[in-house]
Amino acid sequence: MRVTCTVNGSPAAADDVWEGESLLFVLRERLSLPGSKNACEQGECGSCTVYLDGVVVCACLVAAGQAQGRDIRTVEGVGDCGTLGTVQQAFLDAGAVQCGFCTPGLIVAADDLLRRVPRPADAEIREALAGNLCRCTGYEKILDAVRLAASQRPGGVTDGGAG
Amino acid sequence: MEFFRPATWADALAIKAEQPGARAIAGGTDVMVEINFDRSRPEALLDLTGVPDLAEWSADGPVIRLGAGVPYTRVIGELGGRLPGLAMASRTVGSPQIRNRGTVGGNLGSASPAGDAHPPLLADDTVVEAASVRGTRDIPIRDFYTGVKRSALAPDELIAAVRVPVADGPQQFSKVGVRNAMVIAVSSFAIALHPERGQVGTGFGSAAPTPRPAAAAEEFLAAELADRGLWDSHGPLASSAVQRFGELVAEAAAPIDDVRGTAAYRRHSLAVMARRTLTWAWRSYREEQQRCA
């Protein structure tokens, strides 16, 4: 079947999509957007987190056909016109990246959090990132990165928790 | 495999009647895992996310009619005050990404004994609205679960909604797992106090082939509260009564040993959760009275 949707602001179409295929497969293998990572395929790890109509979801659990006509934003669309977004830059500055496999999902989940809660408390950061697994960093630098991004957003402040 | 995406409920029911093997999919948090891991190959997927009615809830007097496609995130954000037990259980589902997609209707459709929504639905006398081209029928929640991942739904039926009474007393939910997020319950328990009719509702998960109420525990506690006049006096519960309630809940279980825990641990944890949630709920009931006095 053919699936058409909007991806990162532009119309996209994929042909010969198998009906049981996931949105993640469509993004990576048919639309050449490999930023969203394929790891657990069961919604446990969050590496494939994308926005679907403005809501963060695991792309591996969205059937391709369910994306028909909908608006998708991937990690490739989180930055600003070819430059890194605030959250992406903060992950670099805080050294919140090791092997990098979980990073795209964490960037999207953190971006979503800061859109909803501009100045999150640590408990809110932990809750928002609870569906994203990192097996390298121990999460401390990831938390630092989210605090840093929050402080750098317009109206953001440093709550002194950046350790 | 075929893929159907009806835009109306009538079309969805017509497709299900014609092709009962079509697997209903809403948030996909169960169905897509099965397909990704090749555990099932349904002949067709029936995507219900294009049917707007399913994503709505409404208040009908003292009852909330919750469309089968309302995601947990909205149950938490919009219904926490009226359906506190269900909202508490919803907060323990998966992760933000999963709660944005997963639905109470999907939990019922999968009918896993570990589904987080089941215990509070059992404790609160929920009715499941099952629909087909033949019409709509009400299935009381206590008749809904028929076996491991099996339910009373007929092959041509889809879940339209659940009708859950607005809380008429304190409700609590507790769940045991190895961490806070992304946990399938090792065991879970819900309690709802119904002071106006002098009844107690319970439900537990992951400790029997189906989610179950603990009927003997409910009867024991309701009798204890009535016989000692505690509903009216708002007096303290005897610790022996709390203890007995926990024992009766554990006795209602029929758990197995599996990768998540042993049968003995499940029984033990149910007794602990039953005692704790009853203690919390009864404390709320007493505080309510003090505030009104």
As given in the structure block, the two tokens for residue A110 are 């953190």
As given in the structure block, the two tokens for residue B138 are 């009400």
Closest residue of A to B37, CA-based? A41
Q: Which of A18, A68, A130 has its CB closest to that of B182?
A: A130
Q: Would you say residue A156 has pLDDT above 60?
A: no
Stretch B64-80: mean pLDDT: 98
Query: How many CB pairs (< 8 A) connect A and B?
Result: 90
Q: Is A59 on the interface with B (CB under 8 A)?
A: no
pLDDT at A65: 98
Stretch B102-128: mean pLDDT: 97
pLDDT at B143: 98
- Tell me what percent of the residues of chain B surpass a pLDDT of 70: 99
Query: Residue B293: which pLDDT band, with cuts at 50, 70 and 90?
Result: low
Burial class (CB in 10 A: 0-12, 13-18, 19+), A157: exposed
Q: What is the DSSP letter of B152?
A: S
Vertex B177: Cα angle to B266 and A144 (nearest 5): 165
Q: Is A106 on the interface with B (CB under 8 A)?
A: no
Query: Residue A160: which pLDDT band, with cuts at 50, 70 and 90?
Result: very low
Q: What span, in angstroms and rounded, lies between the C-alpha atoms of B167 and B162?
A: 15
Q: What span, in angstroms and rounded, lies between the C-alpha atoms of B95 and B76?
A: 13
Q: What span, in angstroms and rounded, lies between the C-alpha atoms of B273 and B254?
A: 16
Place of tokens 């009806």: B6
For the question of an ipTM over 0.90, the answer is: yes
Q: What is the DSSP letter of B64?
A: E
Q: Is A20 on the interface with B (CB under 8 A)?
A: yes
From residue B89, give the alpha-carbon distance in Å to each of B86, B94, B205: 5, 11, 11
| Three-class SS of chain A | CCEEEEECCEEEEECCCCCCCEHHHHHHHHCCCCCCCCCCCCCCCCCCEEEECCEEEEHHHCEHHHHCCCEEECHHHCCECCECCHHHHHHHHHCCCCCCCCHHHHHHHHHHHHHHCCCCCHHHHHHHCCCCCCCCCCCHHHHHHHHHHHHHCCCCCCCCCCC
Q: What span, in angstroms and rounded, lies between the C-alpha atoms of A81 and B135?
A: 53
Interface probe for B, chosen from A2, A19, A44, A51 (most Cβ of B below 10 Å), is: A19
- Mean of the per-residue pLDDT values for chain A? 93
Vertex B79: Cα angle to B73 and B82 (nearest 5): 155
Q: What span, in angstroms and rounded, lies between the C-alpha atoms of B103 and B83?
A: 15
Residue B166 near residue B254 (C-beta atoms within 8 A): no
Whether the model clears a pTM of 0.80, i.e. scores above it, the answer is yes
pLDDT at B179: 86
Strand partners, A73: A51
Q: Would you say residue A161 has pLDDT above 70?
A: no
* B181: chain A residues, CB-CB within 8 Å: 130-131
Burial class (CB in 10 A: 0-12, 13-18, 19+), A153: middle
Q: Would you say residue A106 has pLDDT above 90?
A: yes
> How far does A97 lie from chain B, in Å, by closest CA?
21
Closest residue of A to B23, CA-based? A20
Q: Which of A60, A128, A131 has its CB closest to that of B94?
A: A131
Q: Which of A41, A61, A112 has its CB closest to that of B101?
A: A61
pLDDT at A11: 98
- Tell me what percent of the residues of chain A surpass a pLDDT of 70: 94
Q: Would you say residue B290 has pLDDT above 80?
A: no
Q: Would you say residue A147 has pLDDT above 50?
A: yes
Residue positions counted in chain B? 293
Query: Residue A61: which pLDDT band, with cuts at 50, 70 and 90?
Result: very high
pLDDT at A108: 98
Torsion angle defined by CA atoms of residues B62, B68, B70 and B72, in that order, rounded to the nearest 10 degrees: 90
Helices (H), B19-157: 31-36, 72-79, 84-91, 96-101, 104-110, 118-123
Stretch A83-96: mean pLDDT: 95
Query: Residue A155: which pLDDT band, with cuts at 50, 70 and 90?
Result: low
* B37: chain A residues, CB-CB within 8 Å: 41-42
* B1: chain A residues, CB-CB within 8 Å: 18-20
Q: Which residues contact B259 (CB under 8 A, 6 or more apart)?
A: none
pLDDT digits (tens, 9 = 90+) for A74-86: 999 998 777 899 9
pLDDT at B105: 98
Q: Which of B47, B73, B97 has its CB closest to that of A63?
A: B47
pLDDT at B116: 97
* A130: chain B residues, CB-CB within 8 Å: 95-96, 180-182
Q: Is A121 on the interface with B (CB under 8 A)?
A: no
CB pair distance less than 8 Å for B28 and A66: yes
> How far does B14 lie from chain A, in Å, by closest CA?
19
Q: What span, in angstroms and rounded, lies between the C-alpha atoms of B24 and A140?
A: 41
> How far does A144 lie from chain B, in Å, by closest CA?
20
pLDDT digits (tens, 9 = 90+) for B144-194: 999 999 999 999 999 999 999 999 999 999 999 988 888 899 999 999 999
Query: Residue A158: which pLDDT band, with cuts at 50, 70 and 90?
Result: very low
Q: In what order do the strands lie in the sheet with B171-176?
A: B171-176, B187-194, B199-205
pLDDT digits (tens, 9 = 90+) for B7-17: 999 999 999 99
Stretch A127-132: mean pLDDT: 96
* B76: chain A residues, CB-CB within 8 Å: none
Q: Which of A20, A56, A58 has its CB closest to that of B1?
A: A20
Residue B172, phi-psi category: left (phi > 0), alpha (psi -120 to 50), beta (remainder): beta
Q: Would you say residue A162 has pLDDT above 60?
A: no
